[in-house]
Chains A and B, each alone.
Chain A
């Protein structure tokens, strides 16, 4: 437990500073945009209705969707920029609304007095209207700051580092400590910001200059902490290098192979948000660091975001599955055999997207339909074809993507499974739900460690309704030009077997190891150069 705690604590400087930088820059941008807009809006009814309408509409877009939308809108850019823009947009409404309400709510007698004593419009705004609306405006900023701190945890899937990395990684790898770390620090940050802003507002209102200076000093300190992870880097334990991490690493940690051309090269490795991808990205990171590269990990993203980021060189390498490319990216509805599919995929990736597949890592992680062994035996079900007769009485569970994908429609059509009821849930909970007989059939991943552990059985697929999901190593256009990278990656082709991957997944999902540790064990086992 102490080890685990230390492992999480070591990630804190990077995650917290990423989170602070996002939150505060988005909040400042929100303030800078909202105040003039709010002031203009309060002058004219038409403008007020228009801008409040637009801001309100933005607010109705679910925050995760707004974040994810930014990536294609920015032509595949991931990381700070899309998260920053989405959060800035998100921070506008409360500040804008409160600015308008605050200004419109001012007693008419003050406006009349301000005009009568001979103030210009500008003087009236700055000497009377804004000071009187100040408490309401600050209340809007406080609301906004709490929202933004919370929503910033959702920027992990677009590749921006935040406290959300704790939460996403923790949920996917069943690491409660990690989830609690993320929640605790996000909540603490929200409370601290809210209290500092509250202190600022009260002391300005009470004309207590000491209080307002303290509040400003506090806010500046929080901001400074965000800008320099070194300040909180003191928390890092001396054993940090040994524990590995999901963050940027200095090259001196790991240069052992000095004759490689990769020394000092910056390489960004992307991963999706499930256990196997966390392990693979750590595995690859350790491999490249060993060659002297400076590796940055961007974990926990979705398929299309990651693929767009690769095209756009925001990510250099990630692992993708052939079946996913075929159905989710190429949007194909029919499923040919493995070999022709591979050829077509590699051809399309290179010609249309300039993405290079350097081959498979060795195992396939297919979607398959799994049941409890006992239940399958009782029903006499061995293959998916046997399910049709029982479909109306069965509950099917899929991960967040599965029922929306072409593979499912295809399988469901050819095996006639449409009569079953469907439940969508997070992949982490799917296996448990099956074990506990809450559902009957799940869209399992063939490499998942829980298939053996929960005594589940993968059903045969005699009609080959589900495509192959060989795991490819994909390189972005720019990454292909990094000298020595291809040579460094070549030993990885066909290096990890299905059973080795399943074992590593099990270590994380069931035995509580961190993805980094499981990756290190995998490397030791494979004895890679």
Chain B
């Protein structure tokens, strides 16, 4: 399913535009990353899609349908949403957490149980071991894996991810990122990810949208950004992953020289 922004703005107070005339399209099956500094409006942009926030002007279309004309609850149930603080309900077991949206949609119990077990395996947490535990017993990485399973439960076609890998340690983050990338491809999802981490954006994205002060500065494939940054700010954002990459290259090269 494609997601299209047409001249969307969001005004919180009289004078500040959090989102300023934003237009872009995330094509069906695409993984689009919104990147920018904190407070640039990228999270607001994401939340406009499942109407956790309502736009001030402009239209957001999901597969040609204006989201503001859809029933908000139906809209949200059709999209997966993963965010940094996860928000697993502490009074429900892991299985119940995953089953929330399907049970809101009145799936029959058998189908829900099968779905829960399938998703637990998909996020690499053995169902038999984890299904009946409480979220308090999970590590940060495990909790976010359940967060993904919950978001995927009702077979959404659109996934919204807000700093979904932000709170994890590097190893966990890498493995979860890889897993998400393959889930995205396997399930033919349209995913929109928000991050402030340009490296993450470059590694994951089909397309990167750079946002500053509510405006889109550049919208293109990672290779495009790297070869032709739209302006100094984008170049500056890219400088950190470039420098890291150069340093790593140098390190590896010197290592090779030293070895016989």
**A and B held together in a complex:** yes
With A117-B101, A118-B101 in contact, is A109–B73 under 8 Å at CB? Answer: no
Residues of A within 8 A of B90 (CB): 110, 132
Interface centre among A119, A120, A123 (most CB of B within 10 A): A119
Residues of A within 8 A of B87 (CB): 107, 109-110, 112-113, 116
With A109-B86, A110-B89, A128-B89 in contact, is A117–B150 under 8 Å at CB? Answer: yes
Residue of A nearest to B101 (CB): A117
How far apart sit A388 and B230, CA to CA, in the bound complex (Å)? 104
Q: Of residues 70 to 119 in B, which have CB atoms within 8 Å of A's CB atoms?
A: 73-77, 81, 83, 85-91, 100-101, 104
The answer on a CB contact under 8 Å between A117 and B85 is: no
How far apart sit A107 and B77, CA to CA, in the bound complex (Å)? 22
* B9: interface (CB < 8 Å): no
The answer on a CB contact under 8 Å between A117 and B104 is: yes
The answer on a CB contact under 8 Å between A112 and B91 is: no
The answer on a CB contact under 8 Å between B83 and A109 is: yes
* A131: interface (CB < 8 Å): yes
Partner of A116, one of B74, B76, B89: B76
With A117-B81, A117-B104, A119-B104 in contact, is A112–B73 under 8 Å at CB? Answer: no
Interface centre among B52, B81, B89 (most CB of A within 10 A): B89
The answer on a CB contact under 8 Å between B74 and A118 is: yes
Residues of A within 8 A of B190 (CB): none
Residues of B within 8 A of A110 (CB): 87, 89-90
How far apart sit A132 and B81, CA to CA, in the bound complex (Å)? 21
The answer on a CB contact under 8 Å between A118 and B76 is: yes
* B50: interface (CB < 8 Å): yes
Q: Of residues 21 to 72 in A, which have CB atoms within 8 Å of B's CB atoms?
A: none
Residues of A within 8 A of B91 (CB): 131-132, 205
Residues of A within 8 A of B75 (CB): 118
How far apart sit A525 and B206, CA to CA, in the bound complex (Å)? 108
The answer on a CB contact under 8 Å between A116 and B104 is: no
The answer on a CB contact under 8 Å between B85 and A109 is: yes
How far apart sit A118 and B107, CA to CA, in the bound complex (Å)? 14
Interface string of B46-87 (1 = CB under 8 A from A): 000010100000000000000000000111110001010111
Name the distance in Å between B184's Cβ and chain A's nearest Cβ: 18
Residues of B within 8 A of A112 (CB): 52, 83, 87
Residues of B within 8 A of A107 (CB): 87
Name the distance in Å between B84's Cβ and chain A's nearest Cβ: 9
Residues of A within 8 A of B86 (CB): 109, 113
* A115: interface (CB < 8 Å): yes
Name the distance in Å between B89's Cβ and chain A's nearest Cβ: 6
Name the distance in Å between B71's Cβ and chain A's nearest Cβ: 10
Name the distance in Å between B112's Cβ and chain A's nearest Cβ: 14
Interface residues on A, range: 10 to 19
Q: Of residues 260 to 297 in A, which have CB atoms within 8 Å of B's CB atoms?
A: none
How far apart sit A102 and B101, CA to CA, in the bound complex (Å)? 25
The answer on a CB contact under 8 Å between A120 and B83 is: no
Name the distance in Å between A106's Cβ and chain B's nearest Cβ: 10
Interface string of A440-468 (1 = CB under 8 A from B): 00000000000000000000000000000
How far apart sit A112 and B83, CA to CA, in the bound complex (Å)? 9
Residue of B nearest to A113 (CB): B87
How far apart sit A132 and B91, CA to CA, in the bound complex (Å)? 7
The answer on a CB contact under 8 Å between A116 and B88 is: no
Name the distance in Å between A131's Cβ and chain B's nearest Cβ: 5
The answer on a CB contact under 8 Å between B81 and A123 is: no
The answer on a CB contact under 8 Å between B83 and A115 is: no
Residues of A within 8 A of B100 (CB): 117, 119, 127
How far apart sit A454 and B89, CA to CA, in the bound complex (Å)? 72
Name the distance in Å between B178's Cβ and chain A's nearest Cβ: 24
The answer on a CB contact under 8 Å between A117 and B76 is: yes
Residues of B within 8 A of A116 (CB): 50, 52, 76, 81, 83, 87
Q: Of residues 90 to 126 in A, which have CB atoms within 8 Å of B's CB atoms?
A: 107, 109-110, 112-120, 123
Name the distance in Å between B159's Cβ and chain A's nearest Cβ: 12
Residues of B within 8 A of A113 (CB): 81, 83, 86-89
Residues of B within 8 A of A123 (CB): 104
How far apart sit A118 and B91, CA to CA, in the bound complex (Å)? 18
Residues of A within 8 A of B81 (CB): 113, 116-117
Name the distance in Å between A277's Cβ and chain B's nearest Cβ: 56
Residues of B within 8 A of A119 (CB): 73, 100, 104
Interface string of A204-247 (1 = CB under 8 A from B): 01000000000000000000000000000000000000000000
Name the distance in Å between A75's Cβ and chain B's nearest Cβ: 48
The answer on a CB contact under 8 Å between B83 and A117 is: no
Name the distance in Å between B206's Cβ and chain A's nearest Cβ: 24
Residues of A within 8 A of B150 (CB): 117
Residue of A nearest to B75 (CB): A118
Name the distance in Å between B115's Cβ and chain A's nearest Cβ: 14
Residue of B nearest to A112 (CB): B87
Residue of B nearest to A115 (CB): B52
Name the distance in Å between A195's Cβ and chain B's nearest Cβ: 23
How far apart sit A441 and B30, CA to CA, in the bound complex (Å)? 97
Name the distance in Å between A163's Cβ and chain B's nearest Cβ: 38
Residue of A nearest to B91 (CB): A131
Name the distance in Å between B83's Cβ and chain A's nearest Cβ: 7
Q: Of residues 130 to 162 in A, which have CB atoms within 8 Å of B's CB atoms?
A: 131-132
Question: 8 more A-B contacts (CB under 8 A) besides A118-B104, A119-B73, A132-B90?
Answer: A110-B89, A112-B83, A113-B89, A116-B52, A116-B81, A116-B83, A118-B77, A132-B89
B contacts, CB < 8 Å to A? 50, 52, 73-77, 81, 83, 85-91, 100-101, 104, 150, 154
A-B contact pairs, 28 of them (CB 8 A): A107-B87, A109-B83, A109-B85, A109-B87, A110-B90, A112-B83, A112-B87, A113-B81, A113-B86, A113-B89, A115-B76, A116-B50, A116-B76, A116-B81, A117-B77, A117-B81, A117-B101, A117-B104, A117-B150, A118-B77, A118-B101, A118-B104, A119-B100, A120-B73, A123-B104, A127-B100, A132-B89, A205-B91
Pick the 4 closest A-B CB pairs, nearest first: A113-B87, A118-B77, A116-B81, A109-B87
A contacts, CB < 8 Å to B? 107, 109-110, 112-120, 123, 127-128, 131-132, 205
